[in-house]
Amino acid sequence: MPKKIRELNRKGKSHELDSSLYAGKLTISGKDGADAKRYQEQAVEQAIKQVKRSQGDEQI
């Protein structure tokens, strides 16, 4: 069962994921109650992984 847009927004904190540790900008389109597309879920997961990697690099 696909995640809802609102579930992805909790991970990114808003419709737009913008962080100094994230090199890009990720916008999740759709209404909060709509099912997220697989590519949207993957994009959020990749952005979170990139931020975590960046945080690990800063600690070194």
Asked if 6 contacts 32 with a C-beta cutoff of 8 angstroms, the reply is yes
Question: What is the pTM assigned to this prediction?
Answer: 0.70
**What pLDDT shows up at residue 11?**
57
Per the rule left: phi > 0, alpha: psi between -120 and 50, beta: everything else, 3 is: beta
**What pLDDT shows up at residue 38?**
94
Angstrom distance (rounded) from CA 52 to CA 38:
21
Q: In a 3-state reduction of DSSP, which class is residue 3?
A: coil
- Residue 56 token pair: 């690990």
Residues of the chain whose pLDDT is less than 50? 12, 14-15, 60
**What pLDDT shows up at residue 35?**
93
**What pLDDT shows up at residue 15?**
46
Q: In a 3-state reduction of DSSP, which class is residue 35?
A: strand
Asked if 22 contacts 47 with a C-beta cutoff of 8 angstroms, the reply is yes
**What pLDDT shows up at residue 9?**
75
